[in-house]
A and B are shown apart, each in its own frame.
Chain A
Amino acid sequence: MSTRKRKEKAWYALFTLPLVLIFTTVVIVPFLIGIGYSFVEWDGIPANPKVFVGFDNYAELLKDERFLASAWHTIEFTVLALVLVNLFGLIFSLIVTTKLRVRNAARTMFFLPNLIGGLILGYIWQFIFTDVFKYVGEKTGLQSIFFNWLIDPQFALYAMVVVFTWQMAGYTMIIYIAGIQGIPDELNEAAKVDGANLWHRLTRIVFPLLMPSFTICLFLTLSGAFKIFDVNLSLTKGGPNNATEMFAMNIYNEIFGYGHYGLGQAKAIVFFVIVAAVTLTQVVITKKREVQF
């Protein structure tokens, strides 16, 4: 090897090795040994033996009713969140791209919740759903809507959807705004001249051209909703009676709550496979429907 080539190699190593090393110890190695852990039974205490049990953990998680229930809650939550987050994000983005004078201030306000962490958002809303809702219900007599949502299994799940929507709508709004601003003005003007009303302009011009933004937003909300943990922890702690325990929290509880390290890690691997499969499928499907102009 020539000195020049060796020098090049040394520079390459100097520039890339530090990050590759950190990344390997934090992501790659844990991922690989995590697969190994899913085949053993272990309570997390270093002195206790790790017993190889083959696919037993995977067989067990399929029979774990609480896990299957958490899967169902996660799906229900994700579907509702996906619809509401994108609906509100889209509506907000359409409003703040009009020529209204207060549009920038409104955009700033719609985006604010996204900067506050999920843990803190959950706590703020815990107060609203328990005390403010009860108060409003008593004062207005609308106790069928305004009651403590967090003690009702179904409404506690809706409460999580509300908080997640509040957090994420501003985020998708920003992405939709970028998409809307990328649509040439002439297209809308020409349609106006041809007599197309607002609804037609939206459905025939704006929405089809927003397909790339839809892809991104659906991808982000889908993976965000599926992996939700912080809001779950601070708003409902999975309650009442585990009715809002999502995937991520079930895994957390199995490992660190009950000390079932092997079973919990098997769930974590299944979780990874589902997240990867769902998000990849979603990207492939939506990419196909994008139009060019």
Chain B
Amino acid sequence: MKTMSRTAGNGLLVLLALAFLSPIYLMLVNSFKNRAELYRNALALPSSFSFQYYDKAMEKMSFFTAFGNSLYVTIVSVVIVVVLASMTAWMLVRTDDKLSRIIFLVFVSTMLIPFQTLMMPLMQVMDWIRTNLHIPMLNTREGLIYMNVGFHASMAVFLYHGFIKSVPVALEEAATLDGCSKFGVFWRIVFPMLKTITITVAILDVIAMWNDYLLPSLTLSDKGLRTIPLSTFYFFGEFTIQWNLAMAGLTLTIIPVVIFYIFAQKYIIKGIAAGAVK
């Protein structure tokens, strides 16, 4: 009796999970159907698997260019956030004076500011830098990276700050006595101990930056610079009525995310839990 109810429980849970993911199923099956077939039955499996809509979507979205842009912007931004935020947080924790406390407080309190409050003046500041200092902040991937780092700085500093407070100083002091510079102490001794929180920061930032639409849409205008969310937006605006093509395009954008999820699942779930609990 008990095994029977256990089996039933397992079966029900599988059904529930599958039903939950039914939108993914609908997206997949309809990416293979032609127009007539799609309107005949939107729920059924496709009668044949032809990848013609994938080919077309890939071309119309400039998929590989967009993928490359997203990858470049996300990876470089995350590396810079991790390097700079960990260094800053470590200094702020280890130099416990008024200045450090003020800097930390400013970082944390700005976490409440919504992006929409900053977007317009931010564009003015970046435009000012471009015109007066001749640094190309707008319509370049590097400018976007710079702004990504700025926006994700406070959260990262906050997470590192909380973690570093629980790291004992003894090792650092010993290394300093042995003549190690601050730089050496941090990179050789402290940073390796921050592995868990580094993974959390990296995972949270990768997800946020990879999926971000609004900031790239405001800063990038060249077609060749578009990230995946941007090219999806323009592609969708053009092909809404051709659902099969649209679904093929959406499936393409989800594939990298699913691959990332399969390989980093353990870290993602742990990172999300750790990042939220703060």
- List residues of A whose CB falls within 8 A of some B CB: 8, 11-12, 14-16, 18-20, 22-23, 25-31, 33-34, 37, 46, 95, 98, 100-103, 105-120, 123-128, 131-132, 135-136, 166, 171, 174-175, 177-178, 216, 220, 227, 229-230, 233-234, 247-248, 251-252, 255-256, 261, 264-265, 268-269, 271-272, 275-276, 279-280
Contact = CB atoms under 8 A, between A and B. Distances in A.
Contact of A120 (B21, B151, B240, B253): B253
Interface of B: 6, 9-10, 13-14, 16-18, 20-21, 23-24, 26-27, 30, 38-39, 41-43, 84-85, 87-88, 90-92, 95, 103, 106-107, 110, 112-122, 124-125, 127, 129, 146-147, 149-151, 153-154, 157, 182-183, 186, 207, 210-214, 229, 232-233, 236, 240, 243, 246-247, 250, 253-254, 257-258, 260-261, 265, 268-269, 272-273, 276-278
Nearest to A166: B23
Contacts of B261: 108, 112, 115
22 contacts: A8-B95, A16-B103, A22-B150, A30-B118, A30-B125, A106-B13, A108-B261, A112-B261, A117-B213, A119-B232, A123-B250, A126-B240, A136-B42, A174-B276, A175-B273, A175-B276, A227-B114, A268-B117, A272-B114, A275-B112, A276-B113, A279-B112
Contacts of A135: 39, 41-43
B77 to A, nearest CB: 11
B13 A123 contact: no
Contact of A25 (B6, B24, B125): B125
A80 B109 CA distance: 28
Nearest to A44: B120
B107 A23 contact: yes
Contact of B121 (A108, A220, A230, A265): A265
B211 A119 contact: yes
Given A115-B261, A116-B254, A117-B210, A34 B27 contact: no
Contacts of A131: 38-39, 42, 243
A53 to B, nearest CB: 17
A102 to B, nearest CB: 5
Contact of B182 (A15, A103, A112, A251): A15
A282 to B, nearest CB: 12
A107 B273 CA distance: 13
A247 B115 CA distance: 12
Contacts of B26: 124, 127-128, 132
Contact of A227 (B39, B116, B253): B116
Contact of B150 (A26, A95, A126): A26
A103 B17 CA distance: 10
Contacts of B273: 174-175, 177-178
A227 B210 CA distance: 18
Contacts of B157: 19
Contacts of A110: 17, 20
Interface of B (DSSP majority class): helix
A8 B211 CA distance: 40
A29 to B, nearest CB: 5
B31 to A, nearest CB: 10
A106 B87 CA distance: 39
A20 B14 contact: no
Given A174-B269, A265-B121, A119 B229 contact: yes
Task: List 9 tightest A-B contacts by C-beta distance, closest first.
Answer: A26-B150, A117-B211, A30-B121, A34-B121, A19-B84, A30-B122, A15-B91, A109-B17, A272-B117
